[in-house]
Amino acid sequence: MAIRKIIETISDRSKFALVSIAYLFKQPKYLLIFLFSFVFFSYFLTFFRDGSSNWQLVWSGLGIDRKFELLGRVFPAMLENFSSFYGVTIIFLSLLQAVIVAQLVFAWKHREKGQQIHGASTGGVGALLGFVALGCPSCGIGLLTPLLTAIAGASAVALADTIGQIFSILAFILLIFSIIRLGYINYIIISSKNYKEEHAKSR
Amino acid sequence: MQRAVRIGLLVLVIGFLGALVIFNAINPAPVDMEVWNEQMTKGDKETAKHHFIMYTDIFCPYCDKFSDAVAANMEDFGNHYIKDNNILFEIRVTDMNYENGHSNNSRPAGQAAYCAAKQGDFWSYYYALLSKIYKDYHSRGIGVDRNSEKIPTLDMDYFYDIADDLESIDRDTLVKCMEDKETIAELDNNTKKAASKVNGGVPRFVFDKYVADGFLGNWNTDNDYGQVKLLMDAGLASK
């Protein structure tokens, strides 16, 4: 019974969240914030997609022109994400993160004085988990692997694979949860705003 | 209460990331500049000014992107880097993916690579095997990343058949070498040694004092060679 109620609540809040997201995206300012955030997160995750070699190249002795070349090479790699399932998960992760940023900006701008925004920290945890889960676990190359191997030895590479997959799933769950939560808050803000506007007109 | 749990979770994740960064900064893997297998090198060991090492597993897709790009641009790589900059290029083949339970093919591929080295032509066999894996699997999106379809466990003939196209490798000698497990001790020993030097993952590139993990490529050898050049130039620029 309790589970049914939870499912119903989630389902209702998801609908409200979708309505508020649609409202947000009709406004060019928030659509731009979303698009900018999407490109930013997509770039960032693609940069670290196949290990930390790009990061190591940025801090190497390469000349500034070569470093710009390196940073520029990530853009075509972003487009190639569409050609593999792993790449699509990166795009999807970036999309979710970008939606949260647009939602947060809206909620932050329209919140009551001193009001807390629930869902922001959950989104942050989701984004971080999505980041550390990146890499090629079948090669042991990942952002998690070095620390795990330090704790549990070389055998931890297999562990990094499992933990990476769990972190990926957790990241998606937390990000979606955060979107629903922020979307619901924004729905209340929008409804209240509309009510106030209509009330002001009818006076 | 909920807020405390959320903050705790956030602190935990940030702390974990912080520990990762600090660990990587203070624990560089030890560098071993002694050549492991003379056959798996290019360049003049006696006069080389630089030593460039690649730790690899033949069934690691990111390692293969690097090697395919080098093979397709061997003239430039050989002249511009190995010859002009006097680099000793060494490949350290491991079967880490087998040890980590990710690919049963890594072990026979590693054994075969060392058997080919015993016959004196590691490079031809290595590039022929990579080319075959690309044609049969990687070009079809199989075994290319974490979420793609896995390459099935291959029949031993997959590794023997390559010898048929190479004059320098005798098939019967290769079969005997594999069946008698003549190179398994060397493979195991090198995998064990590599495991302590690569923080768990391949490809790891060690160019004198410069180290890089992973390789961002897309199986387009022109594009990937651009990334190889960045890596080589970063190594040459390292102090």
| Per-domain boundaries in chain B | 1-30, 38-237
Q: Of A13-22, A30-39, A133-142, where does mean pLDDT reach its minimum? A: A133-142
CB contacts of B214 in chain A (<8 Å) are 50-54, 135-136, 139, 141
Q: Which two tokens stand for residue A123?
A: 């989104």
Q: Give pLDDT, residue A64.
A: 94
Residue A31 in this model has a pLDDT that exceeds 80: yes
How does residue A155 score in pLDDT terms, banded at 50, 70 and 90? low
Beta-bridged to residue B53, according to DSSP, are B90, B206
* Number of neighbours of residue B120 by Cβ within 10 angstroms: 10
The yes/no answer on whether domain B38-237 falls in CATH 1.10.10.10 is no
CB contacts of A126 in chain B (<8 Å) are none
Q: Is A71 on the interface with B (CB under 8 A)?
A: no
Task: Provide the chain A residues 87-126 that lie in CB contact (below 8 A) with chain B.
Answer: 87, 89, 121-122, 124-125
Residue A148 in this model has a pLDDT that exceeds 70: no
Mind telling me how many Å the CA of A51 is from chain B's nearest CA? 4
How does residue A28 score in pLDDT terms, banded at 50, 70 and 90? very high
* Burial of B164: CB neighbours in 10 Å, binned 0-12, 13-18, 19+: exposed
Select the residue of B100, B200, B238 nearest A60 (Cβ to Cβ). B238
CB contacts of A164 in chain B (<8 Å) are 146
Look at residues A113, A12, A17, A137 and name the one whose alpha carbon lies nearest to residue B103.
A137
DSSP state of B46: T
Question: What mean pLDDT, rounded, does chain A reach?
Answer: 82
Digit-by-digit pLDDT tens for chain B (239 residues) are 677 887 787 788 777 767 766 666 566 555 567 899 999 999 998 899 999 999 999 999 989 999 999 999 999 999 999 999 999 999 999 999 888 778 899 999 999 999 999 999 999 999 999 999 999 999 998 988 777 889 999 999 999 999 999 999 999 999 999 999 999 999 999 999 998 787 657 899 999 888 888 888 888 899 999 999 999 999 999 86
**What's the N-to-C CA distance of chain B in angstroms?**
52
Q: Which two tokens stand for residue A122?
A: 């959950």
Complex-level ipTM:
0.80
Q: Give pLDDT, residue A115.
A: 67
pTM above 0.95, yes or no: no
The string of pLDDT tens digits covering residues B95-106 is: 998 887 788 999
How does residue A157 score in pLDDT terms, banded at 50, 70 and 90? low
